[in-house]
Amino acid sequence: MDSNRFISTSISEKEKYEGTVAWQSPSNIALIKYWGKFGVQMPKNPSLSFALSEAHSKTSIAFQSKKSSTAKHHFLFEGKENPAFEKKVIRFIEDLDAIFPFLKQLDLEIASENSFPHSAGIASSASSMSALALCLCSIEQHLIGNLQDENEFFTKASYVARLGSGSACRSVYQGFSVWGEFSELIESSNAYAVPFTFEVHPLFLQLRDSILIVSDKEKKVSSRAGHALMHGHPYAEARIAQSKQNLSWLAAALQQGDTDRFIEVVENEALSLHALMMSSKPWYSLLHPNTLIILDKIRDFREKSGLFICFTLDAGPNVHVLYSTDDEQEVKSFIEKELIEYCVNQNIIHDKMGDGPKRIV
């Protein structure tokens, strides 16, 4: 990849600039898991996810030419000061200096909020970092006008989001997207995500994802630390090969409407992710006893009912139950009868495949 492709320019010191941009951007759930990185936020293996609908972040940035010699960047989370989040966001923006040189010429008021409670145990980095990246690209387009082309705009937003959080780069598209080099999709890249351009069978275009909140506690080990444990992991090479094979099988299953293959690959990816954590040195596990009870119950229900239903997990104990809109009633009643008792405060977030990010302002 041409590393200068995403580098922007400064703006005139003499002119006065002012404006506001805002984006709503979704969370995503990976079916093929990104686990392990190299260099600057490059993935060791390709991943595939789909954008959610209900779980999203809204971020706005009001910008104006700086009033004093150094630009002021301020951040509010859900309308309030949040020093920990502010530090992370400001640091991220400072690190983007080479890509967006104009940012140090602007005072920025950044405000962000999530549609889901911070304590819901849902990772917010994908939605928040993608919303922020989209806002920064809209400012660039407003000031410099070089991101007119839609494809170039979203590719750059994905590139920038990746630098904030790997999984965030897949959130700038609707439907399925792929991040990381995948030989069957020539446009795929380690530097940004691309839409999954093959024609997807209608069955998989109406996927539902009911997120069973088994625990809402902060994770013991962050994803960042988990990725780092893949360096020197005894199964690292095998994992890379497995993810590529699984992605190839899943890509075919998505096109053919092959639900059996979909289930086999998606559950294998979820369990392999957690197996990698358990076989890291030092080992750790993010699973909760209730997670395992739920997984067993989903398998039993699938065998008895014959319905298309399966699970995936992210780096945590919560279970994402995947099924088709056609079976919504049966699956929801199964969840109510058999699974809800294993959720903390009976907490479930019913989500589905979404339309991707939306510009609000």
**Binding of ligand DP6 by 231 (CB under 6 A):** no
81 CB-side CA count, 13 A: 1
Nearer to ligand DP6, 125 or 138 (CB): 125
* Torsion sign over Cα 173, 174, 180, 186: negative
**Binding of ligand DP6 by 166 (CB under 6 A):** yes
**Binding of ligand DP6 by 233 (CB under 6 A):** no
Span interacting with ligand DP6, options 30-38, 69-77, 109-117, 189-197, rule CB under 6 A: 30-38
**Binding of ligand DP6 by 223 (CB under 6 A):** yes
**Binding of ligand DP6 by 269 (CB under 6 A):** no
16 CB-side CA count, 13 A: 1
Residues 55-94 that bind ligand DP6 (CB under 6 A): none
Nearer to ligand DP6, 18 or 218 (CB): 218
CB 135 within 8 A of CB 22: yes
Span interacting with ligand DP6, options 56-64, 132-140, 161-169, 300-308, rule CB under 6 A: 161-169
Work out the end-to-end distance of the chain between its first and last CA atoms, rounded to an integer number of angstroms: 32
Give the x-and-dash track for 247-266 against ligand DP6 (CB under 6 A): --------------------
Pairing of strands 348-352, 18-32: unpaired
**Binding of ligand DP6 by 173 (CB under 6 A):** no
Q: How many chain residues touch ligand DP6 (CB under 6 A)?
A: 15
Residues 95-134 that bind ligand DP6 (CB under 6 A): 123, 125
* CA–CA dist 40, 227 (Å, integer): 13
Nearer to ligand DP6, 43 or 208 (CB): 43
CB 45 within 8 A of CB 238: no
**Binding of ligand DP6 by 165 (CB under 6 A):** yes
Beta strands in the chain, from DSSP E residues, in sequence order: 18-32, 37-38, 42-43, 47-65, 73-77, 80-81, 106-114, 176-179, 193-195, 207-212, 309-313, 319-324, 348-352, 358-359
Q: Quick one: which of 34, 75, 116, 308 contacts ligand DP6 (CB under 6 A)?
A: 34
- Contact footprint for ligand DP6 (CB under 6 A): 30, 33-34, 47, 123, 125, 165-167, 223-224, 227, 273, 314-315
